[in-house]
Every structure is written in structure tokens, then in C-alpha cells.
Structure 1
């Protein structure tokens, strides 16, 4: 028996979906966002305009890529001072992930980063309504029960998981993505493809997550290049929706070794999560293909998409400008050689535990090197 959860209370999708903010009931609304992009394209002003007739509104901004404990704690201080009953995260996956961690510690003050991984976590918020409005099409944090936070001192990225983190409302408005630079559209789109393929090759998948993963894979293969090169409204909305489908799938079935290795590199070098996933994905697929079950699943997927899936992943990545190896992402060879042992240890954490082939530091080491050097 499996207990599936695909989203929170509501999923609102389509151009102009942000207008749904005007229907919310609240007393104090806190908007959490990143740096400048959502201000430059007018989204934050628009959200404030929609919300302000219904209650007090404040904006907490400056969430960076790969948010750290310190970033969460700074936002938490704002949240505790303002005491919202509505929290709206607008931006990329980093803004939404940071908001999730803030909310967990806001609703349960006894929890903090010192004890959260040893505690039995609550499953339902009672003080706040949480709305997630993604501006990138990659992480699908708007429908998942997970937040990933960077711990700089340990040079690790770790996931906190509980249903209390899943947003109540997800708003997929492709208009928010129209100002997205091509390279960000490429990296986040390949991130979504990684989610879908890792879910598809996870042994925990079942009928529903399998169908969602296939739908996301075929959709992303069809629409990502147009989204990157032409940035048409239709392609940006489609990528938003297929990314969300991938999130619904992997939050129920799990991921795999790509994310384990990716988190290690992101924690050490602040490499963009989607970029790292995009580079690492084909190397892991080639390795996992030695397993008979994975090989059969990939053969089936290749039949569905009309060609070898690993070849299609490599071709699409090249078309949208993804480097062929992590060395070409600006990570100096001297730094990699110095950190290799720590990177291998970090790669064994997180989603590597549910890779379809059980991994050890000895078996993962050649994959880490291959993904870095491109051999």
C-alpha cells in the first residue's frame, strides 16, 4: 500500500494565475523572495497590489541561490517580528525552500537546525497558510514536502522532509517566467528533466508516479529548447507545468544518485543546482544502465521518446548550452583534487541512498571523477 500526495489544497495554473492572490483571506501577509529579478519584472509590486486591500503586507527579500542556515535564520527573525498568518514565497526554488524552513521553525519554536534532524517533525501547520509561486521551472518546490538547505561549515546540503512543508496553494503563472534568462531556463529545465528521469528509474515508483514522470519527460523534451531559444509564452507555461508534474512524481517515488552528487558539488562550490544535475545526469544513467531492471526501463522510455534516452539527454543538454563536464562549469582542477575525498563522502548522502543500484564510496568515486573530467 502506498499513500500518495500530489499537491496541497489547490494548484492554480495558467497565464494570469497570480491574480488568485486577490482572493485570499488573511490579516498579515509576508512575501519571501530572492534578489532583484522579481522586483525588476514587477511581480512583487503586482503581488503587493493584489494583497494590500485585504490586510497588512511586508516583503522579506534577498534569499540567495543555495540558501544557508544563516539565510533562513535571518528571514525567520523577520517572520517572528511580523507574525504573519499568510506566507507567500515568490521566486525560484531557493526562495521557496528557504520559506519552508522558516515556516517550520516559526510554527514550532522549539525546533532549530541543531535538533531538526533528530526530532520527530510535525505534519501540519496551524498558524499559517503557505502559498508558493515559482518563477523558474525546475525544482517544483511548490508541490513538494521537502526543503534543501546548505550547511557551509559541513560543506553539505541536507534535506528536511515533512508534510508540514508542503505549500497549501501552488500558483503556476508562466508570465512570471517571461523575463527568465535563457541560461537559467536551460538549467532549471534540465533540473526538471533530471527529477522526472530519476523518478522513472526509482524502484519505488508505481502507476501514478510512473505516468507523471513519463508525461514530464516527453513534455520537457518537446518544449525546453523552444523555451530557451524563443521564450514563447506557451513554451514557458508548458515548462512550468511539466516541471510541476516531475515534482509530484519524485516527491512520492524519490530520486537517485544524480542529486546526491549534485548536492555535494553545490555545497562545496555553490554550483547552481540545476546546472550540476544537468551535467551529472547522463553519467549516472550510463552507470545505472548496467542493472537489468534499469536497462529495461530505459529501453522502454527510449521507445516512448523515439530514440535512445541517454543520447537525447546529452543532445538536449548540448543544444541548450549545458557544459559536458563539471570542470567546464568553472570548478578548478586543483580545487577538485583537493576536495575529492570530501565530495565522494558528500555524494553518498541524501538521494544516493535510494539509487536503483546500492552505492558505496568506492563505487561512486569513478562516477564523481567521470562527471568532473567528462570521461
Structure 2
């Protein structure tokens, strides 16, 4: 028996779908967002407008970075406790949505501690707030998942926190919002989504439902991501927005793999963008995992579907989108890498690496970490 859940109560999609906010009844709304992009683009003002523009009933907590930290979340918890809302609206990339998940959870369950969330048994539901997620980037699919990723600065590591109570109640996929994404962010977040879809598709716990969602997302992203980056038109941006959410629905049920384990190690240490590190690591992990017979067969199916060898296609897509070929080319110096190597290896063994189709031991990980940093061939 397997219990599957693909999103919260409602998923609203399409251009101008943010107007759905007008239908939500609330007493006080707590909006969580990142830096300035959602203000400059006018999205925050739109959210306020659709919620009624009542300043006494709306509070905006901003400043969540690209890799949300425990300190940013703690400050948000302090603010939400003072404001006492019954509606939480997360607007922006995966980072503010992930942060808002934890802020809303601990607001309702103050006995929980941010530092010990990864080791705690978390509540199954929230009752105090309605939670709306409005993504501005097309990658993390945090709007439909039961996962939040936080950076624990004391250990230089990004850790995933899982619970059904973290899944937003309402997801709004408004294609107008990612229209403002610059080329590199659209490319990196899109490759993040492709990583989610591929790792979900080859995961050993994948099932009929997640396989179809993941495979559909892979085919859709390979076709529409380059168009979205280059043309920046509403059709392609909405398509990528939808496909990335499908990838999230798949991986939140099936799990991921070592791309995310290694990515979180590098991202947590060097504050690299998550989509960028995933994109860099993905083809190396695909090559290594293809030695598994089941994975190899699935890659053959994907190759037939897209008309190219799927691993070569991912590599060429990275090049086409201007993604660095290795972590070194992303700006991490050899001095820093050599100094931090043992920590990176240790941290890469954590998180989603344990769910990789091929079990990875420490000796193999030592080689993999060097491979993705230097961009060398996998010959082991």
C-alpha cells in the first residue's frame, strides 16, 4: 500500500490566476517574500490589492535570501507571532516559500525548535493558518511539496525537512509572474526542475503515477525551457511553470537522489544557487547511475521520447543555457575546494544521497565530489 499526495487543497494555474486571492476570506494576512524583486515587479502590490489593500490586516516580512537560513526563519517566527495572522502568503522563489513553511509551522506549534526540526517528529497538519504559495521562479515546486530546505550555517549544510503539514493549501501558478525572470535565473531554476523530474523518474520508489508525472515533466521541460529562456513569452513561461510543478508532485512522493545530496553540500558551504549546482551535477550523476540496469532502461525510454540520448541532451542543454560545466567554473577556487574537501564529501553523503538508485559509499563519493568540481570523466 502506498499513500500518494500531489498538492494541497487547490492548484490554480494560468495567466492572471493570482486573482484567485480575491476569493480567500481572512482576518490577517502575513506575506513572506525575498529581497526586492517582488516589490520592483509590482507583484507584492498586486497581492495586497487582491487581498483588499487593508494595511492594518496585511504584514509583509521580506529579506529571505537565496538559501534561507535558520536565522532568517527565526526572525520571521518572531514577526508572525506578534501579528497573529490566519493567512500566510508566500511569494517568490523556492527560498521564501520554504522559509514560510517553517515560519507557519512553528507559529502554530511553538514548542518546536528550528535547530532540531530535522530530528523531530513533526505534526501532520496545520489548523491555525491557511497557506498560499505563489512561486515566481519555475524550479523548486515548493508550492506543491511537503518539503522545506533550510541552510544550517553552523554546519555549512542545507537540510531538507519533511512533513505533510509543510505542504501549502493553495498553489497559484500565474505565468505572468516568472515573465520578469532574467535569462540565467530562468535557466538555472528550469534545470532545477529537470533535475527533480529525472531523479524522481529513476528513483527505486517511483510508481505508475510519479513515473508519468516525472516523464511528462522531463519531456515538457526539454522542449519548452530553451524557448522560455530565449523568447520570454507568456506561453512558454506558463508551460515551464506548470511542468516544474509536475516534477515537484512526482519527487515529493518518490524522492530524489545524489544530485541533491551533493548539491546541498556545495550550496550550503558556498551559498551557490541551488538550481545552478543541480544543473552542473546532473549529467555526472546520470552517467554514474546509468550502470544500474533499471535506470539504464528508463534512460533508453527517455531517449526515445525526446529523440536524443538523454544524457547527451542534458549536457547540450546545459551548454545551450550557459550553465557552467563544473563547480570550479562556477567560481569556487581550488584553494577553497581543497580546504573544504573532507567536509564536502561528508555532507554529500547526507540527505537525498541515501535514496540514490545506486547506493553510494564514502570512497565513491570522494571521487564524485572531485569529478563534479573538476569536470573530469567518470571512469570508476
Shift of 1:235: 0.7
Residue 251 (structure 1) aligns with: 252
How far apart, in 2, do the equivalents of 1:158 and 1:323 lie?
Answer: 24
How far apart, in 2, do the equivalents of 1:48 and 1:82 lie?
Answer: 16
Residue 16 (structure 2) aligns with: 16
Shift of 1:114: 3.4
Once the two structures are superposed, the pairs formed by residues 146-295 of structure 1 within 5 Å of their partners are 146-295=147-296
Q: Secondary structure at the match of 1:117?
A: helix
Residue 81 (structure 1) aligns with: 82
Q: Secondary structure at the match of 1:48?
A: helix
How far apart, in 2, do the equivalents of 1:292 and 1:172 lie?
Answer: 37
Identify unmatched segments of 5+ residues in structure 2. none
Could you tell which deviates more after superposition, 342-351 or 107-116?
Answer: 107-116
Residue 101 (structure 2) aligns with: 100
How far apart, in 2, do the equivalents of 1:362 and 1:16 lie?
Answer: 51
How far apart, in 2, do the equivalents of 1:117 and 1:273 lie?
Answer: 20
TM-score between both structures, scaled by the size of structure 1: 0.99
Residue 140 (structure 2) aligns with: 139
Shift of 1:296: 1.3
- The count of aligned residue pairs is 375
Residue 6 (structure 2) aligns with: 6
Shift of 1:120: 1.6
How far apart, in 2, do the equivalents of 1:278 and 1:116 lie?
Answer: 28
Contact 2:289 2:357 in 1 (8 A): yes
How far apart, in 2, do the equivalents of 1:332 and 1:40 lie?
Answer: 34
How far apart, in 2, do the equivalents of 1:101 and 1:273 lie?
Answer: 19
Shift of 1:20: 0.5
How far apart, in 1, do the equivalents of 2:116 and 2:69 lie?
Answer: 16
Shift of 1:115: 3.1
How far apart, in 2, do the equivalents of 1:289 and 1:274 lie?
Answer: 22
Once the two structures are superposed, the pairs formed by residues 339-358 of structure 1 within 5 Å of their partners are 339-358=340-359
Q: Secondary structure at the match of 2:5?
A: coil
Shift of 1:53: 5.5
Q: Deviations 1:38-59 (Å, cap 9, x if unpaired)?
A: 1111000011111126781111
Contact 2:70 2:115 in 1 (8 A): no
How far apart, in 1, do the equivalents of 2:141 and 2:85 lie?
Answer: 24
How far apart, in 2, do the equivalents of 1:119 and 1:18 lie?
Answer: 35
Contact 2:74 2:114 in 1 (8 A): no
Q: Secondary structure at the match of 1:31?
A: strand
Q: Deviations 1:270-317 (Å, cap 9, x if unpaired)?
A: 000000000000000101111111111111111111110000000111
Residue 374 (structure 2) aligns with: 373
Shift of 1:153: 1.0
Shift of 1:143: 0.1
Residue 73 (structure 2) aligns with: 72
Residue 46 (structure 1) aligns with: 46
How far apart, in 2, do the equivalents of 1:234 and 1:284 lie?
Answer: 31
Q: Deviations 1:114-158 (Å, cap 9, x if unpaired)?
A: 332332210100100000000000000000000000011101111
How far apart, in 2, do the equivalents of 1:244 and 1:21 lie?
Answer: 19
